[in-house]
Amino acid sequence: MSLSMSLYLPIAGASVNCLAIFGLGGVVGLLSGIFGVGGGFLMTPLLIMMGIPPTVAAASDSNQIVGASTSGTLAHFRQGNVDIKMGLLLLVGGIVGGSLGVQIIAVLRRMGNADFLISITYVLMLGFVGGYMFLESLQAMRKSSDAAGRSESPRGESLYARMMRTMPLQLDFKRSGIRLSVMMPFLLGMLVGVLAAIMGVGGGFIMVPVMVYLLRMPMHVVVGTSLFQILFTCMNVTVMQAAQNHTVDFILALLLLLGSAIGAQLGAKVGKKLGGEHLKILLASLVLVVMVKMLYDLLARPDILLTYAGGH
Amino acid sequence: MRPTVSVFFKRLALTALLAAVPCLAAAGPANALNVTPASIVMDAQYSGVDLTVTGSVPTGADVLVRVTGTPGELHLREKGKVFGLLWMNVGKVTLSNVPSVCLIAASRPLAQLGPVAASFRLDALTKAIGVEQQGGDQSVDIPHELLLLKSREGLYREGAEGISLGPEQGGMQPFTARVGMPSSLKPGTYQVEAIALRDNAVVGSTSATITAALAGFPKWLSELAYQKSALYGVMATVIAIVSGLAIGLVFQSKGAH
């Protein structure tokens, strides 16, 4: 009996190898479980390489992330690593920011330079976030190996800390073990929402550094809370894309999901074993690799000067 | 007025040709075109299909078999350099009269078939394409870029493969062509043509049409996605959540300490 591994996907309009899609899901899911990012910035380009149209790849990936982040959130929730209060505030901010970002894109498109701004935002954000995290983790790792004692933070940070302390509407976030103004997660969530909408991604790779550096949440809570927040963002995107653009291939998503949900479960366990600084430096490296790839695409002459309208 | 009249009659002849599919045109009786499968079933197992085209041509002639999709309009983005440094989308391009698919097979390398064969090739096809550029670089050869794009997707192809000629029988020679239809085929109607060429002249041509249609699960899913799109979106989300939870629970029972 020969079992054909190929499956025809009517929405994507292409035939794919089930095992290849399953494996791709597994690898990206593993990263997602370790770092608490949706993995959209990796999965979508890989799907396009496998012959899936860009718009279908992006929308189906959102659908897949819904499942993967459900599984990931559950795994982290059991370990007590989801700050639901914080997640909800970030989410509300993210939704407001996302709607704002969509409007900004519409205005930019009318002005005619949206594509340029999208690409530049992408490269700058990836480069800035990746570079900063990388250097910071490297420093922290050196420091901890030099001396066990923690040194006091430099001047600039204390100003930021004072601002955080004096903002109104202070609230305790027990899971994260921090106390700060309700305004902070809301405003930062909004900022990430705007950027994510402009770039057309879930924003996990911006949200994680924001939680670590600006909200000062412990890394293990950051990952669980980020997945929790991503779950809702991607649910919204999936329904909107399916209803308006018919670009969600749910069979493709389900195949990716089977792989990625298993990967995410393993990832949550691997992440627990790795130290916070190791996690950060790995994520930073990943972000930098994607940045370099994007920069290369911008600088090198493309093989073909025509592309399909749709994706960024 | 003569050219117009002759064009009219050609059109009429073509219409009649298409109406009586499969049929014959120029030389000899019994050179009807036979295409199997006559219709392409795009079910869950579909991953492209090999069309077998059989017919006969006058002895000594070469055969060119062409499968084309219905011509339509295509909207694309053009890439260009910004600030002399960065490559990105700089303009919009609207192309008209673009066949969705164009697969050409010949019994001999196409370059050896002479100028007459050239009119059936991809390059000739691109000359018939209408280009409307909005922004972008006017010096870019848009039809050529389209050819590259479609070729990379496997939707445009030409080569001297897959055709075998049989022994002569009463001035006619049977041929069998195998044309691989890509998996990224869109449902619709496709035209199959066989052109007999000898001494740089067309000595016969026949054509047939085949259809490709979704069937089974892909058909059901596609109808749901397009006709009840909101329901489809909600369903996709709910199934993803349930699957995620289920996989999470499986891991819980296995991984509990």
Q: For chains A and B, what is the number of CB pairs under 8 angstroms?
A: 181
Q: Mean pLDDT across the stretch A120-140?
A: 81
Q: Is position B49 within any domain?
A: yes
Per-residue pLDDT at B250: 81
Burial label for A27, CB within 10 Å (0-12, 13-18, 19+), is middle
Do residue A254 and residue B239 have CB atoms under 8 angstroms apart? Answer: yes
Percent of chain A exceeding pLDDT 70 equals 85
Three-state DSSP at A214 gives: helix
Do residue A261 and residue B89 have CB atoms under 8 angstroms apart? Answer: no
Question: How do strand B71-82 and strand B201-214 relate by DSSP bridges?
Answer: unpaired
B223 plus B134 within the same structural domain: no
Three-state DSSP at A279 gives: helix
Measuring CA to CA, which residue among B158, B147, B150 is closest to residue B120? B158
Q: Is position B250 within any domain?
A: yes
Smallest Cβ–Cβ distance between A67 and the set B79, B82, B243 belongs to B243
B153 plus B239 within the same structural domain: no
More confident residue, B134 or A114: B134
B236 plus B154 within the same structural domain: no
B163 plus B77 within the same structural domain: yes
B24 plus B76 within the same structural domain: yes
Q: Is position B108 within any domain?
A: yes
Residues of B within 8 A of A63 (CB-CB) are 236-237, 240
B250 plus B169 within the same structural domain: no
Question: Which of A83-92, A178-187, A277-286, B11-20 comes out lowest in average pLDDT?
Answer: B11-20
For residue A14, report the phi and psi dihedrals to the nearest 5 degrees.
-150, 155
Whether B96 contacts B70, CB under 8 Å = no
pLDDT category of residue A130 using cuts at 50, 70 and 90: confident
B200 plus B151 within the same structural domain: yes
Percent of chain B exceeding pLDDT 90 equals 25
Tell me the C-alpha distance between A241 and A118, whole Å: 20
Whether B34 contacts B54, CB under 8 Å = yes
B118 plus B225 within the same structural domain: no
Q: Is position B4 within any domain?
A: no
B65 plus B39 within the same structural domain: yes
- Which residues form the domain of B210? 9-214
Residues of A within 8 A of B221 (CB-CB) are 10-11, 250-251
B9-52 pLDDT per residue, tens: 555 444 444 444 443 444 443 458 889 898 999 988 888 899 99
B169 plus B188 within the same structural domain: yes
For chain B, give the mean pLDDT. 82
Do residue B184 and residue A51 have CB atoms under 8 angstroms apart? Answer: yes
At B133, the amino acid letter reads Q
Three-state DSSP at A310 gives: coil
For residue A108, report the phi and psi dihedrals to the nearest 5 degrees.
-65, -40
B122 plus B205 within the same structural domain: yes
Nearest CA in chain B to A304: B145
Give residue limits of the domains in chain A.
15-145+154-299
Q: Is position B1 within any domain?
A: no
The answer, for B183 touching chain A at a CB cutoff of 8 Å, is yes
Q: Is position B2 within any domain?
A: no
Question: Which of A59-63, A264-268, A308-312 comes out lowest in average pLDDT?
Answer: A308-312
Residues of A within 8 A of B225 (CB-CB) are 10-11, 242, 246, 248, 250
Q: Is position B3 within any domain?
A: no
Per-residue pLDDT at B156: 92
Q: Is the pLDDT of residue B137 over 90?
A: no
Tell me the C-alpha distance between A305 and B78, whole Å: 6
DSSP class per residue in B97-120: EEES-EEEEESS-GGGGHHHHHTT
Q: Mean pLDDT across the stretch B40-69?
A: 90
B65 plus B182 within the same structural domain: yes
For chain A, give the mean pLDDT. 78
Own/partner pairs for B242-246, CB < 8 Å, 24+ apart?
A: B243/A67, B243/A70, B243/A254, B243/A257, B243/A258, B243/A261, B244/A66, B244/A67, B244/A68, B244/A69, B244/A70, B244/A71, B244/A74, B244/A257, B244/A261, B245/A70, B245/A71, B245/A74
Tell me the C-alpha distance between A216 and A161, whole Å: 10
Domain count of chain B? 2
State the residue for tokens 């250097």.
Answer: A135
A302, two tokens: 């493309």
